[in-house]
Amino acid sequence: MSLSDKTFLAVIPARGGSKGIPGKNLALAGGRPLLAWTLDAARNSQCVDRTMVSTDDPAIAAAARDLGGEAPFLRPAEISGDNASPMLAIDHALAWLEREEDWSPDYVMLLQPTSPLRLAEDIDNACRLAVEKDADAVVSVGEAVPHPYLTRTIDPDGKLADFLTLPEGYPRRQEFPDVYALNGAIYLAKREILVSRGTFYTNRTYAYVMPVARSLDIDTPWELHLADLLLRERPEK
């Protein structure tokens, strides 16, 4: 089955509340709202058929429409709080599309606005991997930095202690095994898997490896500042 035979929905969760960075989803980075970078990546993708912004905030919905995205509804408050799972936003969007438009995609992709360095080619590569492998899901990762073997804990007295025990045979950092961390940029799964299992993680979830330079996930003001610097240097396409 080729990529063109499948339909892909991108859901961008962008609720209004944010404790770490107030108004985070519309915060500026590279002179543009964070939301704009993710909308651009989805719009420039060759595989995404539709992009919907799921938000409880009228200002974010209006900004999404101004930026060329779909925001046809406001997400109910009961699935928009601090502890609300992104799966609730996906379930709500899928139910709305089926009820209002009688449309169901083959694949659903969660694209968080807090990963503004992700490119359209990353989205397309993840879609291609999903179809080629007939994967239940594809999740993006980046090289774990620092390596877990270099992590430490601090005891109550202030002394360092190992967090993980370094196995014999790895005396130098260059010989450590490759380890990857979720980078938050792309979560992609077959719609049927999300509906039936409610997760992106099965025994047929494949990794899409992104470079560290595009794996920044913004959660703090410092990370927003770093994204701003990097996006200001990004050449215009």
pLDDT computed for residue 21 by the predictor? 86
Query: What would you report as the CA-atom Rg of the chain, rounded to the nearest whole angstrom?
Result: 19
For the chain, what is the mean pLDDT?
93
Confidence of residue 200 (pLDDT cuts 50, 70, 90): very high
pLDDT computed for residue 144 by the predictor? 95
Per-residue pLDDT tens digits for 126-141? 999 999 999 999 999 9
Confidence of residue 198 (pLDDT cuts 50, 70, 90): very high
Q: Is the pLDDT of residue 13 over 80?
A: yes
Q: Is the pLDDT of residue 229 over 90?
A: yes
The DSSP string of 150-184 is: G-EEE-TTS-EEESSPPPTT--SGGGSPP-EEEEE
pLDDT computed for residue 81 by the predictor? 75
> What's the average model confidence in pLDDT over 181-185?
97
pLDDT computed for residue 128 by the predictor? 97
Q: How many angstroms separate the Cα of 11 from the Cα of each of 5, 108, 161, 225, 231?
A: 20, 7, 42, 25, 23
Listed range (39-53, 118-132, 170-184, 214-228) with the worst mean pLDDT: 170-184
Q: Is the pTM of this model over 0.85?
A: yes
Cβ-contact 178, 143 below 8 angstroms: yes
Per-residue pLDDT tens digits for 140-164? 999 999 899 889 999 999 999 989 8
Neighbours of 13 (CB within 10 A): 25
> What's the average model confidence in pLDDT over 99-116?
97
Question: Helices then strands (H, E): number in the chain?
Answer: 6, 10
Q: Which domains does the chain have, with CATH numbers?
A: 3-142+180-232 (3.90.550.10), 145-178 (no CATH)
Please give the structure tokens belonging to residue 110. 């969660």
Per-residue pLDDT tens digits for 60-86? 999 999 999 999 999 998 888 777 788
pLDDT computed for residue 236 by the predictor? 59
DSSP 8-state assignment for residue 70: B
Please give the structure tokens belonging to residue 133. 């492998």
pLDDT computed for residue 218 by the predictor? 96
Q: Is the pLDDT of residue 208 over 90?
A: yes
pLDDT computed for residue 174 by the predictor? 79
The DSSP string of 73-136 is: S---GGGSSTT--HHHHHHHHHHHHHHHH----SEEEE--TT-TT--HHHHHHHHHHHHHHT-S
Q: Is the pLDDT of residue 237 over 60?
A: no
Confidence of residue 170 (pLDDT cuts 50, 70, 90): low
